Chain A
Amino acid sequence: MGVYRVGIDVGGTHTDAVLLDEKNTVIAETKSPTTEDVATGIYHAMHKIISDANVPRDQIHYAMLGTTHCTNAIVERKRLNHIAVVRIGAPATLAVKPLIGVPEDLREALGKHVYLVRGGHEFDGREITALDTHYLFQIAREVKGKVDSIAITSVFSPVSQDHEHRASEIFREVLGDEVAISLSSEIGSVGLLERENATILNAAVVNVAKTAAEGFIQALENEGIKARVFFGQNDGTLMSVDYAVKYPIFTVACGPTNSLRGASYLSQLSDAIVVDVGGTTSDAGVLVNSFPRESSLAVEIGGARTNFRMPDLISIGLGGGTIVRIRDNGEFTIGPDSVGYRLPEKGLIFGGDTLTTTDVAVALGKVELGDPEKVAHLDKKVMQQVYGRMVEMVEEAIDKMKTSAAPVPVILVGGGSVLLPDSLKGASRVIRPEHSGVANAIGSAIAQVSGQIEKIYVLDEIGREQALESAKSQAKQEAIKAGADPGSLVIVDIEDVPLAYLPGNATRIRVKAAGELGRMPVASI
């Protein structure tokens, strides 16, 4: 009996889907347009691969979704929850109120119910002041019926979560289980405004995530598939639906991560630079040990500063639909605007009226597509210059991502990668893996499952080494419980925060382990 898995990646322009067998061989793949409601696009893509593949539906055991639902909702400021923002820390922090640094329109959408409550902790875990529970009850009664999601951030909650937990209990008591509650200590690390922004954004996309999850599960049911459903996370590992609906913010960067992971899998390379050429932009990222190199800088989501760990990417305004403008004197500009997903109607080779990078490549005979006659009139010399500049733009991006001058392998993926040549400056070789057009969906399908634990250890009693060992082995157990193959487990993240306020050199240790999804269906283990 086979064990198949479905991988879906919802991008801004395309929804990609793949079906893999137990050896991760691609059985079927498709690209279909992303629809306004997203779910229809997912349904179409999934229906197509399942009909094409013709495998027994009861042998499809896993379904993974990588989606930009939440990212888009934040960027477009649409479909967001009605939220209340609660910060615990007053009188500290009043000089920088919640949402102060974020763009006006986002502040307007999310800042309707903002409360500053007395409480919070010092860096060493002492209370700044006692938690004002009376005010919390008052807030809970005030927002009842007006909000459906609450973001709670307490000062130094990564050191002590007491006040966030107490506040959460109060809101539950008054508002019941219907209201979603996001706690900052479960979302980010030290850095109040960044963690608070991330928590606010998380609270704002809970409904979007719920709709996406339900849509995906519904689409599977319509196809008669009873698979275990996972969501892709920023770090390239999977999370369960329950978890995704609670922490949807962890999905916002899964697109680039899946693309890098998919490129790594398809090319069988663990260290390389990956260039993903889409319709509007190209993203260059770096694979280190098969995972994306992470950015060390503050990451903005929809204009709000957060402190997530995200793949380190350079994005340049060069894609298959990028508009090329040529003046009478032969000077030209490339982008940054693009016809995007309307390339099939706008591009010259398709009978449209706009000169795009794709037309340039076709005019020079680099790509066979559309009707070459429609670009035959273009000045070859100018086209050569434009093409030369396009290649240079990519080469510069590659060079910026490198850590040394030595040439490295470059993997090209994405629909627009056909535009690029087979040799690039700074690349030891250029690899175009098979199925590279759906690398994201493959990255989603092959993603690993993870398990995480968080515990306080008294180092004076057991020592740091032993504490870490114990935490690691428990995290691995969690990952195995989630379906990971024990033989493939690795520790992907360790964080320890010393808790100076507790005796005996206490430290809070958080460990995350990840591994390949077991070859066997979970139910039969």
Chain B
Amino acid sequence: MRKIGIQEIEDIAVGAALLGTGGGGDPYIGKLMAIQAIEEYGEVTLLDAEEVPDDALVVPSSMMGAPTVMLEKAPSGEEAFVAFQKLETYLGDKIYATFPIEVGGVNSMLPFALAAKLGLPVVDADGMGRAFPELQMVTFYLDGIAATPAVLADEKGNTVVLSTIDNVWTERIARAATVQMGGSAMTAMYAMKGRNLKESGVRNILKLEETIGKTIRKAKENNANPIREVVKSVKGFPLFSGKVKDINRKTESGFARGTATFEGMHENKGETLTLRFQNEHLLARTEERLLCMTPDLIAVLDAETGLPITTEGIRYGARCVVIGIPCHPKWRTEKGLATVGPKYFGYDVDYVPVEELAKEGVRS
């Protein structure tokens, strides 16, 4: 157990942008919400998953809908609170702690804003270890934990309590309600017991994000190259050093899809990297080699500062280092790959773990 203050939030936000692998929504607005709540109500207690009683009710707090809407119509702060109240009434149980559903992007920050206001602890675990775009794409789903009963709430005071036959229906109905609520809403879903979170969650992931943020901050203070340190702290692999040569984006069925092309520099001189993304970076390859693919993480870092770059932030001429990070083992199971593997996103390649690709330099 320890306290999370403003400096910790700043560091975690940098880690959240990195593990967001280009998507997940800019953590910026979430960070400001967390900072304002901590300034107003005080620091937040962070618990290790082990510190949560097996029978305690734990519920993630997250936003649903278009991150761009949230950038304009920011939450009131009441939505998440009302959603938790409604869920407690429905379940007839008190919520013991909250946690992020995904640690990539804006959703990493929202539990802190709520926790400060309610005086609840945050548990250091999530359901992805990264960011993904659909609500069944969580490790909890792989272990058969239902998304509902779930509550959606908007700033006007409307709430919707969902009880659905499966998570696909949850997605479908919640999406429609979110549009009516104005394009973004706060949710309380995937309510579970402490034991479920210990078994199915990705643990110590906020601590990792804090380490990432701190590493980059310290490197800047000491004028050192942060990338090597960051790669070490995430147990990742440097995949490619290059300069952005081309970026091609389009918005399709709610996804920011596209391709970024990098021209190799240094040890990659003469090579070209193609990075495919749909909100998140999903597939990195050169003409000859596959380098990394979903569900493993692909992060693009500024070659100088080590700061993560989102897909919107990728611009011509930027010098970057692309790194690969092994995903949580649960994603590498058959059900895991069926849910978030390359084929699910429409790429016709078989999944190979990043550490094997890095070792063998597999030709395709």
List chain A residues, Cβ under 8 A from B144. Answer: none
Given A100-B35, A128-B182, A296-B312, A192-B76 contact (CB < 8 Å): no
Convert A297-312 into 0s and 1s, putting 1 for each residue whose CB lies closer than 8 angstroms to a CB of B: 1000000010000001
Asked whether any CB of chain A lies closer than 8 Å to the CB of B210, the reply is no
List chain A residues, Cβ under 8 A from B157. Answer: 91
Given A90-B76, A91-B155, A122-B182, A405-B317 contact (CB < 8 Å): no
Asked whether any CB of chain A lies closer than 8 Å to the CB of B124, the reply is no
List chain A residues, Cβ under 8 A from B162. Answer: none
Could you tell me which residues of chain A, from 398 to 412, have a CB within 8 Å of some CB in chain B? 400-405
Asked whether any CB of chain A lies closer than 8 Å to the CB of B12, the reply is no
Tell me, in angstroms, the Cα distance from A156 to B183 when the chains sit together: 12
Q: Name the contact of B33 in the complex, choosing from A89, A95, A405 (C-beta under 8 A).
A: A95
Q: Is the CB of A192 within 8 A of B74?
A: yes
Q: Is the CB of B315 within 8 A of A296?
A: yes
List chain B residues, Cβ under 8 A from A94. Answer: 75-78
List chain A residues, Cβ under 8 A from B37. Answer: 95
Q: Name the contact of B36 in the complex, choosing from A100, A295, A305, A405 (C-beta under 8 A).
A: A100
Given A128-B156, A404-B263, A122-B183 contact (CB < 8 Å): yes
Convert B175-187 into 0s and 1s, putting 1 for each residue whose CB lies closer than 8 angstroms to a CB of A: 0000000110000
List chain B residues, Cβ under 8 A from A97. Answer: 36
Asked whether any CB of chain A lies closer than 8 Å to the CB of B235, the reply is no
Asked whether any CB of chain B lies closer than 8 Å to the CB of A421, the reply is no
Report the contact-size class of chain A (Cβ under 8 Å from the partner): 35 or more
Asked whether any CB of chain A lies closer than 8 Å to the CB of B360, the reply is no
Asked whether any CB of chain B lies closer than 8 Å to the CB of A120, the reply is yes
Asked whether any CB of chain A lies closer than 8 Å to the CB of B92, the reply is no
Convert A72-101 into 0s and 1s, putting 1 for each residue whose CB lies closer than 8 angstroms to a CB of B: 000000000000000001111111110011
Q: Is the CB of A92 within 8 A of B68?
A: no
Q: Is the CB of A92 within 8 A of B71?
A: no
Could you tell me which residues of chain B, from 237 to 269, have a CB within 8 Å of some CB in chain A? 245, 263
Convert B316-335 into 0s and 1s, putting 1 for each residue whose CB lies closer than 8 angstroms to a CB of A: 11010000000000000000
Tell me, in angstroms, the Cα distance from A89 to B70 when the chains sit together: 13
Which of A123, A293, A297 has the largest number of chain B CB atoms within 10 A? A123
Which of B37, B75, B157, B312 has the largest number of chain A CB atoms within 10 A? B75
How distant is B62 from chain A, measured CB to nearest CB, in Å?
14
List chain B residues, Cβ under 8 A from A91. Answer: 76, 78, 155-157
Q: Name the contact of B156 in the complex, choosing from A96, A129, A404 (C-beta under 8 A).
A: A129
Asked whether any CB of chain A lies closer than 8 Å to the CB of B29, the reply is yes
Tell me, in angstroms, the Cα distance from A400 to B313 when the chains sit together: 15
Convert A181-219 into 0s and 1s, putting 1 for each residue whose CB lies closer than 8 angstroms to a CB of B: 000000000111100000000000000000000000000
Tell me, in angstroms, the Cα distance from A293 to B76 when the chains sit together: 37
Q: Is the CB of B32 within 8 A of A193?
A: yes
List chain A residues, Cβ under 8 A from B313. Answer: 296-297
Q: Is the CB of B73 within 8 A of A192?
A: yes
Could you tell me which residues of chain B, from 61 to 107, have a CB within 8 Å of some CB in chain A? 66, 68-69, 71-78
Asked whether any CB of chain A lies closer than 8 Å to the CB of B189, the reply is no
Asked whether any CB of chain A lies closer than 8 Å to the CB of B113, the reply is yes
Given A94-B76, A190-B68, A405-B263, A128-B155 contact (CB < 8 Å): yes
How distant is B250 from chain A, measured CB to nearest CB, in Å?
16
Asked whether any CB of chain B lies closer than 8 Å to the CB of A155, the reply is yes
List chain A residues, Cβ under 8 A from B35. Answer: 100
Which of A94, A97, A190, A405 has the largest number of chain B CB atoms within 10 A? A94
Tell me, in angstroms, the Cα distance from A331 to B161 when the chains sit together: 68
Q: Name the contact of A404 in the complex, choosing from B33, B36, B155, B245 (C-beta under 8 A).
A: B245
List chain A residues, Cβ under 8 A from B315. Answer: 295-297, 312
Q: Is the CB of A400 within 8 A of B317?
A: yes
Convert B121-159 into 0s and 1s, putting 1 for each residue whose CB lies closer than 8 angstroms to a CB of A: 000000000000000000000000000000000011100
How distant is B266 from chain A, measured CB to nearest CB, in Å?
13
List chain B residues, Cβ under 8 A from A402. Answer: 317
List chain A residues, Cβ under 8 A from B68. Answer: 190
Could you tell me which residues of chain B, from 18 to 55, have a CB within 8 Å of some CB in chain A? 28-29, 32-33, 35-37
How distant is A212 from chain B, measured CB to nearest CB, in Å?
33
Q: Name the contact of A128 in the complex, choosing from B36, B66, B73, B263 (C-beta under 8 A).
A: B73
Q: Is the CB of B33 within 8 A of A401?
A: no
Which of chain B's residues has its CB closest to A297's CB?
A: B313
List chain A residues, Cβ under 8 A from B317. Answer: 400-403
Q: Is the CB of B71 within 8 A of A89?
A: no
Q: Which residues of A contact B (CB under 8 A)?
A: 89-97, 100-101, 120, 122-124, 126, 128-129, 155-156, 190-193, 293, 295-297, 305, 312, 400-405
- 29 A/B residue pairs, CB under 8 Å, sorted by A: A91-B78, A91-B156, A93-B75, A93-B76, A94-B76, A94-B78, A95-B33, A95-B37, A95-B74, A95-B113, A96-B74, A100-B35, A100-B36, A101-B28, A122-B73, A122-B183, A123-B69, A128-B156, A129-B156, A156-B72, A190-B68, A191-B72, A193-B32, A193-B71, A297-B313, A400-B317, A402-B317, A403-B316, A404-B245
| Nearest 8 interchain pairs by C-beta | A95-B77, A92-B155, A122-B182, A93-B74, A91-B76, A94-B76, A95-B33, A403-B316
